[in-house]
Structure 1
Amino acid sequence: MAPLVFLVVGFVLARVAGLAGIDALDGWLPALRVGLAVMFVVTGLAHFAPKMRAGMIAMVPPGLPRPALLVTVTGVLELIGAVGLLIPATARFAAIGLALLMVAMFPANVSAARRKLSLGGRPVEPIGRRTALQIFWIGLAAAVAVAA
C-alpha cells in the first residue's frame, strides 16, 4: 500500500506545482509521470534496502535462477524507468517498459502471497488486493504511454 501513497503524494504535489505556475508540471500527464516516478524510485530503492531486499529475494518463485540477481536487475530497471518518465522524450518508452516489467514481476507477488511470506517484517498483500493494484499501476503506465 505504501507505493500507492507515494504515487498519490507525488501526483498531488506535482499537480499543485503545475497550478502554481510551473509550466512543465501543468497538466494531469506531467503530474502522473511525476507520481509514477516517485513510486518507482521508492520501490526501486527498496530492492537494495537490506530488510526489504531479503524479503524480495524470498518472493522470487523457487524455479527461477539467481533470485538476488533478479531483484537487483528489477530494482535498477525501476530506477531507470523512473528517470525515463521524467524526460518527455523518453516517457512513452519508459512507461511501456515499466508496464512490461510489472507484468513480468507479478508472478513473484503471486508466489509470495501463496507462500504467505513477509516483506520488510509485514505480510505481503493478499493476492486480490495486489492484483487490483497491479492492474491499476499498469493502467496508469499505459495511460502515460498513450498520452505521452
Structure 2
Amino acid sequence: MEPFVALVVGFVVARVLGWIGVDALDNWQAALKVGLAVMLLFTAVAHFHPRLRPEIVEMVPPSLPRPDLLVSLTGVLEIAGAIGLLIPATSTWAAVGIILLLIALWPANVSAARRKVAQGDPIGPRSAFQLVYIAAAALTII
C-alpha cells in the first residue's frame, strides 16, 4: 500500500507544480512519470535498508540462487528505471524496462504470499497493485 501512496502523492505534487507554472510538469504524463519514479525510489530503498532488506530477501522464491544478490540487482534496476523515466531521451525505454521488471518480480510476490513470509500480503491485493504499476508505466508511453 505504501508504494501506491508514494505513486499517488508523487503524481499529485508533480501535477500541482505543473499547474503553478513548472512547464516540464504541465501534463498528466509527465506528472505520472514523476509519481512512478517516486514510487520506484521508495521501493528501492527497502532493497538496501538494513532493517527492511532481510524481508525483501525472504520474498525471493527459495528455488532462485543468491537471493541477496537478486534483491540488490532489482533495487538497482528500480533506481535506474526511476532515473530513466525522468530523462526524456530514455523515458520510453525505462517504462518498458519497468514493465518487464514488474512482470519478472511477480513470481516473488506469489511465492511470498503462498509462504506467508515477509511482505507476503494476500496475492489478490498485491497483484492488483502490481497491475496498477504496470498500467502506470504503460500510460507514460502512450
TM tier, shorter chain? Answer: over 0.9
> Does residue 72 of structure 1 match 2:85?
no
Partner of 1:33 in structure 2?
33
Deviation digits for residues 33-66 of structure 1 (CA, Å, limit 9, x no counterpart): 0000000001011100112110111110011000
Displacement of 1:144: 1.1
- Shifted more, 48-57 versus 26-35: the winner is 48-57
Q: How does 1:10-49 map to 2 (within 5 A)?
A: 10-49=10-49
C-alpha separation in 2, matches of 1:27 and 1:135: 23
Alpha-carbon RMSD: 0.8
Q: What are the ranges of 5 or more consecutive residues in structure 2 without an aligned counterpart? A: none
C-alpha separation in 2, matches of 1:46 and 1:56: 7
Aligned length, in residue pairs = 142
Q: How does 1:51-70 map to 2 (within 5 A)?
A: 51-70=51-70
C-alpha separation in 2, matches of 1:98 and 1:24: 22
Displacement of 1:94: 0.4
Which secondary structure does the structure 1 equivalent of 2:48 belong to?
Answer: coil
Partner of 2:132 in structure 1?
136
Q: What are the ranges of 5 or more consecutive residues in structure 1 without an aligned counterpart? A: none
C-alpha separation in 2, matches of 1:28 and 1:144: 9
Report percent identity of matched pairs.
58
TM-score (norm. length: structure 2): 0.97
Could you list the runs of 4 or more consecutive aligned residues of structure 1 that deviate by over 6 angstroms after TM superposition?
A: none
Q: In structure 2, what residue type is equivalent to 1:67?
A: P
